[in-house]
A and B are shown apart, each in its own frame.
Chain A
C-alpha cells in the first residue's frame, strides 16, 4: 500500500568484472519495453501536444494541415458543450465518489468483523468486479426500462403515476449511471479498505476497549484515523476513475439527454475521432491529461507526506 520505491543499488557496491558486457546485456533486456513505451506512450503524448496546435484531420484531404496556434484551445474553452461535459464529469465524480466510498467502507467494516458465513459474503461481494462492465450495463438497462422496468414498477407500487424515463431525463440520467457504476466497481474500494483495516494493529482496538470506547467511538478514533492513507488513495483513485467515465454513457445514453451525461472523454472522442478533428480533439486530450495527471500527482504528494 505504499508508493515509496526501494532504493536503487548503487553501481559501486557491486563487483566490477564484465561490467561493460553486462551493460549491453541489461540494455538489451530493457530495449523492448523501452521501445514500446516510447512508441505508444511517450510519442503519442508529445504528439497530442503538437497536434493540438494544428488543424490536423483524421482522413487525409485536399486542404493541407496548418498551424493554428492556440485557436483549438480557445475554441475548446469557449465551447459550451465542453464546459457542460466538464461539469457533468465533475458532477458524476461528486455523486459517485462519496457514495461508493462510503458504501465500500461500510461493507469492508462489516466483512472485517467475524460472523457466520463471512467468507461466503466476501466471495459474493467481489462478484461485480469480476463481471465485465458491458454485461453489467446491459443488466441495468433492463432495470431502467420504460414504462415497466423494475425501478418503474417499484415507484408504481409506491403510488407513482406514469413512469420515469430514468436514462432519458436530465434529472435522473446521471444518478442512474452513478448507481450502476457504484454497483459495478464498489468491490475495488471495498478490497482496498479491507486491506487497510487489516493493517490497523489490533492492540489499538484493545486499548480503546479498555478505555471503555463504544463501537462507534472505536470506529471514529481508531479505525478512521488508521485509514488515513487508504482514504486518500481510495478517494483520489475513485475520482480519477470517475473522470474516465465513458463506456456506460456511450452504451446507455450516448451523452444525452441534451448532453446531460456527456463526459470529458466522450466529448474528446466525439470531436477527435467521430468528427475527425484530430487537432481539436488533441487539445481536449491535453486538457484531460492535465486534469487527471494533477489528481494523480496530488495523491502522490499527499500519501508521501505521511
Chain B
C-alpha cells in the first residue's frame, strides 16, 4: 500500500511523465533473456508515443513468485504463467479472461493445441496465450551414434521402436567416452519430471489422469504405465541414465552422455556445445506404433488485480504479433505458436534445422490436462518418476501418486464445476 501511495506521489510530482507504464513479469532463462530485452525495446519504440510503456522484469523461480503474488495481491499488469497451471489459477479466481482484449485475427491464426492449452473449459474463455509451442525429442551426438553403428531416424514416422532404442543404448554404452548413453535431465526439478515423462505413459495408452472422469487411479497406475516405467528403471539400473546428481551438461558440456531427452529450450546450448555433431531424433515409439510428445509452455496472462487491463491487452497483442512470435522462436529455439510466423522463422521455416520439432508438435502432441488439480497431478507424478528412477517399486509409487491426486481432488470437493463432468 505504501509503495502504491508513493508511486502516486511520484506521478503527481512528474507532470511530464504522461505515459502509462505497465509491468510484465517474465520467465528468467538463459535462452529467453535476449528475447525479452528485445521485446521491451520494440514495444516501447512503437507505443511510447501513444502513451504506453512497458517494463519487462525477468523473475527466477517465477512459479513461487506468482504464488506469493496471488497471496499478497502484489502482481504486475501482465505475467507469464506455465500453461498447464492456468486452470488452477483461474479456478482460484486469480486471472482475468483475455478474450475482450485480444486481436481476433491473431486468435484464428493460433496453433490448435495452444488454443486448447489457454481455454478454460467451464466458461470456454481464453485466459492464457503462449507465443510458442514446445516439444521433447532425443538429441544425439552424431560421432557417438556413428561409432556405435546406430540408424539415425529422420522423420516422425521413421522413429525408433522401443527395441531399437534399447539396442542403441546398449551399443552406445560401449562406445569410448560415453559414461551414460542417455540423459533424461533428472537434474531438473519441478514441471519437467511430469512434462518430460508423461509421453512414456501416453504413447502406451495410459495417461496422468482420466480426462473424462478426472480420476487418476486406473489411468496413472495402469498396467501399461507400470510396464514402460519399469523399462526405464531397468535402464537406470544398467547405469545407462545420467543420475540426478550428474548435473546439467553431460551431453553438451563434457560429452559423457550420448543422447538426451529434452525440449527445445536447450537448442542454443546444444548447438554451441556440439555444433555439426548435433542430430535431432524423433520421439521413439515406446509401445507398438504410438508416439507422443508434450507441448505448450509459458503463456501471457493478466492477473485479476491488474489496474491497466486495456494497456496490458495492447502489450499482449504486441507480444503475440507475427513478427514477435517468429523472433521468440528464432532466439529461444521454441516452435512459433502462430501459423503465419512459421515461414518467417529461420529455424522452423521450410528446410530449417528445427523442421522435425515442428513436425512433432503438429502430429503427436498431447496437451497436458487442463484441470485445477494440475499442480498436484504434476508434482505427484514427478515425484513418482524420480523415485522410480532412483530404484523405488514402480507399482507402489504410481499407486501412491494416483492416490495423492484423487485425495486432493476429493478434498477440494471435486473442484466445482469440474465435478460435473463426471
Tell me the A residues contacting B by CB distance below 8 Å.
Answer: 55, 58-63, 144-147, 162, 165-168, 170, 252-254, 256-259, 274-276
B189 sits at the interface (CB 8 A):
yes
Contacts of B245 in A (CB 8 A): 144-146, 165-168, 252-253
B399, chain A: closest CB distance, angstroms? 12
Give A260's nearest chain B residue, CB to CB.
Answer: B390
Asked if B93 and A258 sit within 8 Å, CB to CB, the answer is no
* Cβ of B92 under 8 Å from chain A: yes
Main secondary structure, interface of B, reads loop
Q: Contact at A59–B71, with CB atoms within 8 Å?
A: yes
A19–B94 CA distance with the chains assembled, in angstroms: 57
Closest CB-CB distance, B4 to chain A, in whole Å?
21
Q: How far is the CA of A253 from the CA of B189 in the complex (A)?
A: 11
State in angstroms the CA–CA spacing of A180 and B244 once bound together. Answer: 19
- In the bound complex, residues from chain B placing their C-beta under 8 Å from that of A253 are 245
| Chain A: CB-nearest residue to B180 | A147
Q: Which residues of A contact B70 (CB under 8 A)?
A: 59
- A146→B392 contact, CB < 8 A: no
| Complex CA–CA separation, A55 to B407 (angstroms) | 13
Q: Which of B91, B189, B256 contacts A61 (CB 8 A)?
A: B91
Chain B residue at minimal CB-CB distance from A162: B239
Closest 8 interchain pairs by CB? A257-B390, A168-B245, A61-B92, A168-B243, A258-B392, A258-B387, A167-B245, A258-B390
Render B162-190 as a binary contact track against A, CB cut-off 8 A, 1 for contact: 00000000000000000100000000010
Complex: how many Å from CA A82 to CA B386? 18
Minimum Cβ distance to chain A for residue B373 (Å): 12
B92 touches A59 (CB 8 A): yes
B397 to chain A, nearest CB (A): 8
Contact (A60, B391) CB under 8 Å given A147-B179, A275-B376, A275-B379 = no
B387 in complex: contacting residue of A162, A259, A275, CB < 8 Å: A259
- Bound state CA distance, A136 and B107, in angstroms? 52
Q: Closest Cβ of chain B: how far from A251's Cβ, in Å?
A: 11
Please encode chain B, from 379 to 390, with 1 for each CB lying within 8 Å of some chain A CB and 0 for all others: 100000011001
Report which B residues bind A (CB closer than 8 A).
67, 70-71, 91-94, 179, 189, 239, 243-247, 256, 376, 379, 386-387, 390-392, 411-413, 416
List, sorted by A's number, 29 A–B pairs whose CB atoms are closer than 8 Å: A55-B411, A58-B67, A59-B70, A61-B92, A61-B93, A61-B412, A62-B92, A62-B93, A63-B412, A144-B245, A145-B247, A146-B243, A146-B245, A146-B246, A147-B179, A165-B245, A166-B245, A168-B243, A168-B244, A168-B245, A168-B390, A170-B390, A254-B189, A256-B244, A257-B390, A258-B387, A258-B390, A274-B379, A276-B67
Q: Please, which residue of chain B has its CB at the minimum distance from the CB of A252?
A: B245
Least CB distance from A176 to B in Å reads 10
**Chain A contact residues: over half helix, strand or loop, or mixed?**
loop
Given the complex, which residues of A lie within 8 Å of B179, measured CB to CB?
147
14 further A-B pairs in the complex, CB-CB below 8 A; given A58-B71, A168-B243, A170-B391: A59-B67, A61-B93, A62-B92, A62-B93, A63-B412, A145-B245, A145-B247, A146-B243, A147-B179, A166-B245, A168-B245, A257-B386, A257-B391, A274-B379
Q: CB-CB < 8 A to B256: which residues of A?
A: 147
B392's nearest neighbour on chain A, judged by CB, is A258
Q: How far is the CA of A145 from the CA of B256 in the complex (A)?
A: 14
B391–A165 CB distance below 8 A: no
Q: Which residue of A is nearest B189, CB measured?
A: A254
A54 to B179, CA, bound (A): 51
Chain B residues lying within 8 Å of A167, measured Cβ to Cβ, are: 245
Q: Measured between alpha carbons, how far is A296 from B378 in the docked complex, in Å? A: 39
In whole angstroms, what is the CA distance A120 to B92 when docked?
Answer: 61
Measured in the bound complex, the distance between the Cα atoms of B67 and A275 in whole Å is 11
Minimum C-beta distance from A4 to chain B (A): 45
Contacts of A60 in B (CB 8 A): 92-93
Which residues of the other chain, B, contact A256 by a CB distance below 8 angstroms?
244, 386-387, 390
Residue on A nearest B71 in the bound complex, by CB: A59
Q: How far is the CB of A193 from chain B (nearest CB, A)?
A: 35
Chain A residues near B246: list those with CB within 8 A.
146
> Is there contact, CB below 8 Å, between B244 and A257?
yes
* A256 and B390 alpha carbons, distance in the complex (Å): 8
Shortest B418–chain A CB gap in Å is 11
In the assembly, what is the distance between CA of A61 and CA of B90, in Å?
10
Contact indicator A165/B71 (Cβ below 8 Å):
no
Shortest beta-carbon distance from A255 to chain B in Å: 9
B379 touches A165 (CB 8 A): no
Given the complex, which residues of B lie within 8 Å of A275, measured CB to CB?
Answer: 376, 379
Q: Shortest distance in angstroms between B171's beta carbon and chain A's nearest beta carbon?
A: 19
**Which of B239, B244, B413 is in CB contact (< 8 Å) with A63?**
B413
Cα A147 to Cα B179 in complex, Å, equals 8
Query: Closest residue to B247 on the A side, CB-wise?
Result: A145
Chain A residues, Cβ within 8 Å of B390: 168, 170, 256-258
Which A residues are CB-close (under 8 A) to B71? 58-59
A235 to B179, CA, bound (A): 44
Chain A contacts of B379 at CB under 8 A? 274-275
Residues of B within 8 A of A62 (CB): 91-93, 416
**CA separation between A145 and B92, bound complex, in Å?**
43
Bound Cα distance A238, B155 (Å): 60
Residues on B with beta carbons closer than 8 Å to the beta carbon of A63: 412-413, 416
Cα A275 to Cα B247 with chains together (Å): 26
Distance of A273 from chain B, by nearest CB (Å): 9
Whole-angstrom distance between the Cβ of B301 and the nearest chain A Cβ: 16
Chain A residue with Cβ nearest B379? A275
Residues of B within 8 A of A59 (CB): 67, 70-71, 92, 94
